[in-house]
Structure 1
Amino acid sequence: MKALVVVESVFGNTRQIADAVANGIGRHMDVQVVDVRDAPAVVDGVDLLVVGGPTHAFGMTRAETRRAAAEQSGGTVTADAVGLREWLVTLHVVGAAGATFDTRMDRLRLPGSAAKAAGRALRRRGVQLVARPQTFRVVGTRGPLREGELARAEAWGAQLAVQLTPARPGADA
């Protein structure tokens, strides 16, 4: 079985979560992590598609929010032309189950979620979601991740894979 994790990350925190999710998935199936800039428009031959990105302005990033993040970084990050929002519009998925996650600032409990928006976009493309959207918290705009989030992400990834991995004959139930 194969999994693909597609991630958009501005300050690196969401990428850390994607790598941790992939580590969990990798215990049970082959997995690859790709940046959204390099993600294929057609996803075929994959059993599980996991999509993750940061929550900006109550949802998935937009060109304006990516530019604002680049300015806020003082030049340490660049504003990418393609984020999850743009990639999902072009996406065609063949036969994969799906799951979504996002990262959000811990100190503010604001509405909106990149994971929920990405989940809606995947469902519109015929992808059956196998888990509720997950949010992982960062301490500030640039991070770091809240303590324990990497372990939680890895456990979530393993749980996703176990749901899709057929039981091996002779394995304990």
Structure 2
Amino acid sequence: MHTVIVYESLYGNTREIAEAIAEGVHQADPEASVDCLPVARADTEVTRTADLLVVGGPTHMHGMSSGASRRMAAMAEAKKEGHEDAAREARETAEGPGLRSWFHTLPKTEPGTHAAAFDTRADMRMSGGAADGIAKRLAHHHYDVVTEPEGFIVEDADGPLRQGELDRARAWGAGLV
């Protein structure tokens, strides 16, 4: 089985969740081939070979990020002392394609290709989530979404991840296999 995990990450939290999901897939199926890629490196050749496509991103303004929300997040991160690595990742992500534009280039697939959606989000009333929008776009491209979209909790807008979320992501990834 070939699993492709595509993620957008500004502060590293969504990347960490994606990597944990990849570990979970490997735990459940040690023979599985897993590609875990930032959205900027996820071209159609890679996604076309997937038996399972897992897509995730951060929640911005109640849903999927936009070019404007990524630029605002990168500017805010650049102002924080001691956050050089996060600021670099945020800047690189803000300058590249986000999931919204990536979906415009994702080809429709044959029925029977499985997919799943996840996001990172704050645990606040009315914070929303990006995973539902991701799942809808996957279904629009004829992917069979095999599970309910999943949200993983960050303690603040730029993290850290809530304790136990990486373990939960590994278990979720294993359950996808």
Q: State TM-score, norm by structure 2.
A: 0.86
1:57-76 paired onto structure 2 within 5 Å: 57-74=61-78, 76=87
1:96-115 paired onto structure 2 within 5 Å: 96-106=113-123, 108-115=124-131
Deviation, structure 1 residue 114: 0.9
For 2:96, the aligned partner's letter is A
1:148 matches 2:164 = yes
Deviation, structure 1 residue 127: 0.4
Alpha-carbon distance in structure 2 between the residues aligned to 1:101 and 1:92: 20
1:37-68 deviations in whole A, cap 9, x for unaligned?
11113522211000000010111110110011
Deviation, structure 1 residue 93: 4.4
Partner of 2:83: none
Partner of 2:48: 44
Alpha-carbon distance in structure 2 between the residues aligned to 1:93 and 1:152: 30
Deviation, structure 1 residue 80: 2.5
Task: Say if 2:131 and 2:150, in contact at 8 Å, map to a contact too.
Answer: yes
Gapped runs of 5+ residues in structure 1? 162-173
Partner of 1:34: 37
Gapped runs of 5+ residues in structure 2? 80-86
**Shift >6 Å, 4+ stretches:** none
Deviates most, 139-148 or 38-47: 38-47
| Bigger share in helix | 2
Partner of 1:80: 95
Alpha-carbon distance in structure 1 between the residues aligned to 2:169 and 2:96: 27
Task: Say if 1:17 and 1:153, in contact at 8 Å, map to a contact too.
Answer: yes
